[in-house]
Structure 1
């Protein structure tokens, strides 16, 4: 790769960082294209797809560089998990210099697509667009503290129609052993893997798309982890101090009763109705962090409840949890609600700050899409989609490590790496000839 002749400290660290990925890439001859690819992701440029990056990092031999990068991403058989493990080992210590890991954040993000052949593309909800549309969606797990966060797991969600279509699977290179899984099931598997890999534990944070899934919440608890997860306003809860009716005594005839019960006068309520019935004194204004111009604050209530979803099929009531409710002054109804298994002695401010730490994943996605080119991959296959994302995370990890070493009062120097100017004679494939 043709870089400036005099490497500054950050560029030397970049070279060492990519060299460390070498063992995980499987072959020494993959290190140079990986370095070019990561450099292309970090360098300025509107598009971070393969050809424009090849032109930026190797302007004198664009076609050869394009073939090399394309092979690395779309064809080469290297382990995404192994590369992410190296990234994690290099970057987490830098994050932990600013405090222990506090949270494991689950979320998903969408990539709008116009065609129908890219792996996993379907009409589904796309957060980037805020509506249902043609897109791909990936589920991720990030580890975070208040200083920074790093994605440590990444997987494409494969809609059921795709999972059951053998021809499309084969064409896109979907692994033979991969079966349909819901997003919460993918997320729970990522959490299990992170725990098995010895990643420093944190409180699991997720939005209502995951929090409404009882099996997801139960799975987190079974792993010995706590959570703060969003729920919908329609979620069924037993109000403070209430629980299902106990199992009825056996009459001596038929099968003995084994399930807790409800009645017309004794039943759970919707979360929004619970909030509406709380006394004025239940609400307090809480600040959770400093915003750009002013402290971020809102009005919250926190009460102990029991989740009631299908508990009429259970032999015992569910354990008490926190229900945290945000209801800003002037709003007609609550804007956000969470369930949390944090200890009963956790104060309201701590609950709020844990819940609001989920903003870090939004920051990750924003930077990785706008600055690193996470959504710019133009290939259609399973392998290429994941290899591109893995090297985007690697590039982002380097950026995080560099920032962690900079004092808060200092400005971050950019760019970390330099490349020669693209020749004026270069024309992308398919571009019209100049007039």
Structure 2
């Protein structure tokens, strides 16, 4: 069972609103953060020239004007000669991006104590057909189809800041089974097709199992997906989860004192609407509105969900949030953090807003969508360094001093 440890950290005292500094090469505080981050992330490179190129690329992502293409980055750090060297470093070199991602995760954990990991999808529009993974895909943020690449990222998030640390690129069928395309894009052997929910779960499990970082609750959107298999995969990997679900997801009331007990699986919204008397006001700070104080009504109900791998009912908490008490809940969440009170659980869900805000303000600026190459390896190297640039930017802009410290202890 997952238990949650709560330690209060001055949550009642709002801190100053920190506006991010413009992305200029003389921005105060950047040099120190970039130098320290480079030392932590690039130590795996044995050669000095590789460490130098990695730091050049990182600084170019932070300070180059316009789209963060290799050409624009090279123009900022050294011109045509630098372009050829950086192109080789990103697209044709042999360095493995995973140790750098693990180092970034460790650095962030030491620097800002993330409260949770937020899994967010990233759609990257592409007009051509030759970039790895390009297809006609569904973008959850848009609620519609688009043509391009689809990826899922794990973001380490606290109330004050967030940064991506791991990525998984979806590979549609033709990029897996068409050997000519696969060879041209340098897709490694062993990678297969995944659904969106499989990709979202895999990117979190990879970080949890391979990096030696403290396991935090994983927040992800499970609406429209296979809830039971996804939760079962995360449970088998011992990754605690807080998943947003659809109102029609069917659950079994596990509390004998609650309406619906003994009635079998019921829609989540019906369970929540029948227990309105449990709702209580919860105050939270909105990172998408300058940390404005807001209040929602929220309640939790003990439920169970059939685990398809074991055939057993798994204890869960169903969390509902209301803005208007006369209307249906605006968000419905399901979690295996069964000992967590309602207020910290609801505040934990707001870390998705922190991630959305930081992506809009910082992620776009440092080039998370901007890789113009075609190869699988090149895309991963670029987005790894763009994640490092994102971390440098948010760490330079503020600190992590507020809110609830949600530490997690896993017991068998």
TM class, shorter-length: 0.7 to 0.9
Is the contact made by 1:136 and 1:157 (CA closer than 8 Å) also made in structure 2?
yes
**Contact residue 224 and residue 246 of structure 2 kept, 8 A:** no
Instruction: After superposition, give the CA deviation of every residue in 1:353-388 in whole Å (9 maximum; x if it has no partner).
Output: 122223233234324432201111111110111111
Query: Which of 227, 233, 256 is the equivalent residue of 1:213?
Result: 227
What is the aligned partner in structure 2 of residue 42 from structure 1?
A: 62
Q: Pick from 195, 198, 204 the counterpart of residue 218 of structure 2.
A: 204
Matched positions, count:
372
Are 1:366 and 2:363 an aligned pair? no
Cα distance in 1, alignment partners of residues 102 and 347 from structure 2 = 29
> Aligned partners of 1:306, 1:205: CA distance in 2, in Å?
19
Distance of aligned partners of 1:395 and 1:215 in 2 relative to their CA distance in 1, 3 Å threshold = same
SS at match of 1:286: strand
Shift of 1:309: 8.0
- The structure that has the greater radius of gyration is 1
Normalized per residue, the structure richer in strand is 2
TM-score (norm 1): 0.76
> For 1:269 and 1:275, how far apart are their aligned partners in 2?
10
Tell me the residue number matched to 1:432: none
2:73 to 29, 53, 64: 53
TM superposition shift of 1:49:
0.9
Matching of residue 141 in structure 1 with residue 154 in structure 2: yes
What is the aligned partner in structure 2 of residue 111 from structure 1? 124
Residue of structure 2 equivalent to 1:415: none
Conserved in 2, the CA contact under 8 Å of 1:91 and 1:400? Answer: no
Selected match of 1:292 from 286, 290, 293 = 290
Query: Per the alignment, do residues 128 and 135 of structure 1 end up closer, same or farther by CA in structure 2, a change over 3 Å counting?
Result: farther
Report the CA distance between 1:31 and its aligned residue: 2.2
SS of aligned partner of 2:365 = helix
Distance 1:343 1:330 in 2: 25
Q: CA offset at residue 143 of structure 1?
A: 2.4
The residue aligned with 1:80 is 97
Q: Which residue of 2 aligns with 1:351?
A: 345
What is the CA-CA distance between 1:389 and the residue it aligns to? 0.1
| Residue 334 (structure 1) aligns with | 329
Please state whether the residue corresponding to 1:371 is helix, strand or coil: coil
CA distance in 2, matches of 1:330, 1:402: 41
2:248 aligns to what? Answer: 234
State the match for 1:163 in structure 2. 176
| Partners of 1:65 and 1:133 in 2: CA distance | 34
Distance, in Å, in 1 between the alignment partners of 2:26 and 2:325 is 59
Q: Which of the residues 273, 278, 301 maps onto 1:282?
A: 278
Which runs of 5 or more residues in structure 2 are unaligned? 1-23, 257-261, 403-412
Q: Structure 1: which 5+ runs fail to align? A: 243-264, 409-435
Compared with structure 1, are the counterparts of its residues 277 and 309 closer, same or farther at alpha carbon in structure 2 (3 Å cutoff)? Answer: farther
